[in-house]
Structure 1
């Protein structure tokens, strides 16, 4: 329907803005780092000017004054690392500054301080750019909604939206709650699904919160509160991911202790062999601040942001690293490999009925039922363009079937026991024999005679086979189907899929046991969507949930959530994770290689401390720029690439 006119009535005053948020520790830290950079730069410039003026005493004092704030922040970071029981590389930077001051290389110490502060600022900028997608998602959260009340529009807090409310969504607004549209709507759902093109929803279609209205204003019938809506669930997951342990230290700390020992040994050896302490200082200076401190967190956070842009929420750097290492996939069937809803797979009429006639009569009667199977028959008939007359004299036996008149003919539709009751025993037995074990069977009788069977099945997702094949191409060596369905149903679904093993008749405990058994051989990724999958998701190295509607247990338990209801996100998730980790390791290896070369040159007296500091900063800038490549579009198996790549 058309958007209502403003003549409906004035809106209530806008909701008062929320109280000022508490002080942001991150903002205070950024201000402190900005002040440290300013101090180091001012001290370096003023001290250098004093040197040229022949005031060496003044120069040393100015250099030290500029260094002091940087050194203080460095010590704060070092203490924080120790409290977290983490061995960081801050000690190398501190040793470089202190040793340079002790041997009178105050200019070198000032350069190191400025480069260290500048490198940290560059890292913060890179991480901010890399995390922009997650921040943008959080910034989209609507605060108010326009609700109809007594023929007028009122602005209400988002928390006041209740199921049954009728809301107006204006052009440019974010859909505030899950619901159904009451008129045509054009939505940009890229923030929640990664789909780059707008989608059109017709009247009566369900829409998820979080999409942006890029068309005309439309009315929305809310089916959930805003707090229980899909977008609110996604926001909670994003906030959980941003609160997760910072990924900066996980990969870097594996090298930190060894690199620190190597630096100490090389610097002391240079001093002992040459007898010149300045060489030791030069070695320490070249080792500071080191690509390990800067490049790894940038690459990992860039990967997290890239994944978020594609509708894949990865809960922290640890999950991204684990995702990059998976070699085995355990995948649930219902709602994961399949669509999770019954659909008509085949119509088997008995003479003299034709398939279209059988489906038309059964679906026409099922219009009177709200059962999921009935809705599947009606949907199939309408998809085939069949005319469905309204049924009369309808009687429904809950859970068994429906009986009534369609075009004057008595039709009975339901389970075999219900629909075939009253038929001659030989006819009923022959009808039962036609029903395959791997399908849900609906029997139909017309005027007391057997008319045929309608077979329903949980339909395989159209991209399932292609997705599994592409995962194999990415290096996932083993794929296991885990399902609670019967073996016959599982085998029918598995036919033609690149699976290495099919495990059927599994309860939640058996799924956990299967995941643990597979973990003994290789890192495991478990993919599921139901509440019963949550324990297995936790047991795997990486748990992946399909969709994030509301506060689903599987989404809360998972390490990775595919916001779009599509298996294709699995390929993107693994591809992005492996590319990000590869870039991080590449930055570490290249950066450390260049640093070690510079340290050796400094040990032989070929690189004085000041030049060494500038060389290290050039290395840092290079590895950070390389790490930011993780933000770019990543090629996918088969030569494909995603939009924006």
Structure 2
């Protein structure tokens, strides 16, 4: 509401100033010059009062802003009777702040579209199979929810029906709905674009993806961009140069109007407004494509990163073991081995067992219900499935159960795990599970190097052999393995000698390094809360390609801001010199500066239309 109130005030200032300028021009045309000037003065004083209040606030914060030059030019024009010039400068300033407000408002609307989608209640199954409407905070893990067509998923969970069609565009920027199968994960905040389906809650509402995104959005856009601070840092110098040039022109010509003309042209709206307009627009566009950047400072750092440090598990890899191959040793096919193993593993809660069950269901397999279940926690499970004796677990456990030696069978490769499957007393096969690289990792690394990253390192707590095996062929500049969290921090600090360091991670152990890096990037809002809080950027989906898109948005936004500043200030300096030599009267200078300001601010607004071609 505070932002909306400020927006309304800026609109009111613009309308009052524009009305006074228009009425004054009408009065002057009809010959009522004195009354016209009074009307112009009234409009200028209104704008000047608002500007002086803003300057006072800045000074209390210890900031000397460039808006002092704008106030000085209006005041000087009023003192020396150039009321029309003062009115044009006032219009220039009020219209510039209105354009800035428009850009920020549009950016806020795009980001707060996320906030407006937060559901307040959910439809839950009772024990008897009936439905009840419950507040969001009452949903517990494992509750079964009914998601109607058009409903927003209130919590993270898995699909319990045969399938679901979900629109994730508000979270990821992906325009096409995605089709999920039974057992696949649903991200809270997704909209049901198909038939109603059942959702098994895997997190409470406060811990779900959407709640994390909402918290991060509320934190975003609060920082002041380094480019803006740079402008303020040199504002005193700019002010001194402006006053010196105006004073010199007055002293050499004995004409105070020359000084007024210089001050009018010097009004630095391009530097005051173009930078925040472009960078805030960049924040909005990045969020639209699933990259949440926590403020303009982080956006600038993202655009200038030179070294990239990547975590392995959950960042370069999916973070969850997957079945990569199935070795068979009997007459059963690989599909039959997987089906029997998954059927038996339905009786186990071990994460590896659940991975096997999910993989089988993902292939559309119907899993019989196991009987005569005997589980040794952490080792494996023995059951009967469709009349067959089935043993699933570690190779040692399975071979002991069937009375055989494990020596003649394969040894797992670094980074992989073997799950043995025996059927009717004979070893039927091995399921080979590994935490594989994310698809498209090599392409991601090639694309991010084109964005200006010159050095890429892997930082992992895993063993070196595993890290080397997983990343073989990726062309990394270095691999640092078996690192503790504090050693990751030390690596980040050491690499700073090569330029700005960007760290990408997802776990609690990555949080210190993310905080220490110049730009920390957390993988997905469903990752560890500590990493999302410590990071400067959060990828709203676990897709490294979005980081390239975010860097492109950041780079283009920064370039647009610089273009606007250089062009605007360059033209303003040329105008100041022309005014000092008497080639521009105050009114002409004000009109020229108005044209410059509109041009550079409209150029800055181009950042609202950035659309990275790298979105997959």
On whether the aligned pair clears a TM of 0.5, the verdict is yes
Alignment of 1:340 with 2:319, yes or no, is yes
After superposition, what is the alpha-carbon deviation per residue over 1:174-229, rounded to whole angstroms, capped at 9, x for unaligned? 22233344545432111112211112344554422212233344454444443332
**Which region of structure 1 is more displaced relative to structure 2, 310-319 or 138-147?**
138-147
Whether 1:562 and 2:572 are equivalent positions in the alignment is no
Q: Which residue of 1 aligns with 2:352?
A: 373
- Which digits, 9 at most, give the CA deviation of each residue in 1:30-58, with x for residues without a partner? 33333322332333234334444554443
Q: Distance in 2 between matches of 1:401 and 1:173?
A: 40
Alpha-carbon distance in structure 2 between the residues aligned to 1:350 and 1:278: 97
Quick one: distance in 2 between partners of 1:453 and 1:161?
A: 39
C-alpha separation in 2, matches of 1:64 and 1:72: 12
Inter-partner Cα distance in structure 2 for 1:422 and 1:140: 54
The answer as to whether partners of 2:221 and 2:283 remain within 8 angstroms in 1 is no
Shift of 1:601: 1.1
Query: Kindly tell me: are residues 493 and 602 of structure 1, through their superposed partners in 2, closer, same or farther at Cα, counting changes over 3 Å?
Result: same
TM-score (norm 2): 0.91
The 8 Å contact of residues 77 and 260 in structure 2, kept in 1 or not, is answered as: yes
Residues 487-513 of structure 1 deviation map (CA, whole Å, 9 limit, x = unaligned): 111001111213111111111111111
**What's the CA shift for 1:468?**
0.9
| Range 599-608 or range 343-352, more displaced | 343-352
2:154 is equivalent to residue 176 of structure 1: yes
Q: Describe the SS at the equivalent of 2:504.
A: strand
Cα distance in structure 1, aligned partners of 2:521 and 2:387: 52
Instruction: Say yes or no: does 1:41 pair with 2:18.
Output: yes
Partner residue of 2:513? Answer: 536
Whole-angstrom CA distance in 2 between matches of 1:89 and 1:266? 16
Contact residue 50 and residue 56 of structure 1 kept, 8 A: yes
Task: Map residues 379-398 of structure 1 onto 2, 5 A cutoff.
Answer: 379-381=358-360, 390-398=369-377
Inter-CA distance 193–46: structure 2 relative to 1 (3 Å threshold): closer
SS at match of 1:480: strand
Q: Distance in 2 between matches of 1:109 and 1:603?
A: 18
Is structure 2 residue 197 aligned with structure 1 residue 215?
A: no
Q: 1:248 to 1:168 in 2, by over 3 A?
A: farther
1: CA distance, partners of 2:415 / 2:159:
37
Unpaired stretches in structure 1, ≥5 consecutive residues: 1-23
238, 244, 269: which one aligns with 1:290: 269
Contact 1:336 1:546 in 2 (8 A): yes
**Which secondary structure does the structure 2 equivalent of 1:454 belong to?**
strand
Alpha-carbon shift at residue 452 of structure 1 (Å):
5.1
- Aligned equivalents of 1:445 and 1:173: distance in 2? 45
| 1:360-405 deviation per Cα after TM superposition (whole angstroms, max 9, x unaligned) | 5544433332222223334455666777655443321101122344
Q: Tell me the residue number matched to 1:524.
A: 501
Per-residue CA distance 1:586-612 (angstroms, 9 max, x = gap): 111111111111111111111111111
Q: Deviation string for 1:111-163 (max 9, x for gaps)? A: 11122112111221122223331022222222344556688766554444444
SS at match of 1:131: helix
1:133 to 95, 110, 134: 110
**Kept after mapping to 1: 8 A contact 2:183/2:361:** no
Q: CA deviation at 1:544?
A: 0.6
- RMSD of equivalent CA atoms: 2.9
Deviation at 1:345, TM superposition (A): 2.3
3-state SS of paired residue (2:96) = helix
- Does the residue aligned with 2:228 lie in a helix, a strand or coil? coil
Tell me, what secondary structure is at the counterpart of 1:340?
coil
More divergent stretch after superposition (184-193 vs 447-456): 447-456
SS of equivalent residue, structure 2 residue 474:
coil
Partner of 1:231: 210
Mapped partners of 2:157, 2:331: distance in 1: 44
State the match for 2:85 in structure 1: 108
CA distance in 2, matches of 1:424, 1:403: 14
Is 1:251–1:296's contact at 8 Å kept on the other side of the alignment? no
Distance 1:288 1:324 in 2: 29
Check 1:410–1:144 CA distance in 2 against 1; reply closer, same or farther (3 A cut).
closer
Show the counterpart of 1:457. Answer: 434
Classify 1:576/1:44 alpha carbon distance in 2 versus 1 (closer, same or farther; 3 Å). Answer: same
Alignment of 1:66-215 (within 5 A): 66-146=43-123, 156-163=134-141, 167-181=145-159, 183=161, 184-202=163-181, 205-215=184-194
Looking at structure 2, the residues matched to 152 and 444 of structure 1 have their Cα atoms a distance apart, in angstroms, of 40
- The change in CA–CA distance for 1:231 and 1:382 in structure 2 (over 3 A counts) is closer
Paired residue for 1:509, among 465, 468, 486?
Answer: 486
281, 285, 302: which one pairs with 1:306? 285
Gaps (5+ residues) in structure 2?
Answer: none
Question: 1:172, 1:408 → 2: CA distance?
Answer: 45
Going from structure 1 to structure 2, the CA distance change for 1:287 and 1:154 (only over 3 Å counts) comes to: farther
By how many angstroms is 1:263 displaced?
1.9
C-alpha spacing 1:247/1:621, structure 2 compared with 1 (3 Å): farther
Deviation at 1:264, TM superposition (A): 2.3
- What SS does the corresponding residue of 2:247 show, helix, strand or coil? helix
Shift of 1:246: 6.9
> Would the aligned equivalents of 2:306 and 2:498 in 1 still touch at CA under 8 Å?
no
CA distance in 2 between counterparts of 1:622 and 1:604 reads 25
Q: Which residue of 2 aligns with 1:487?
A: 464
Distance 1:43 1:322, change over 3 A: same
Q: TM-score, normalization: structure 1? A: 0.87
Q: Tell me the distance in 2 between the aligned counterparts of 1:154 and 1:450.
A: 49
- Structure 1 segment 223-302 matched on structure 2, within 5 A: 223-245=202-224, 249-250=228-229, 252-302=231-281
Show the counterpart of 2:553.
Answer: 576
Q: How many pairs align?
A: 614
Are the equivalent residues in 1 in contact too, given 2:341–2:390 (CA < 8 A)?
yes
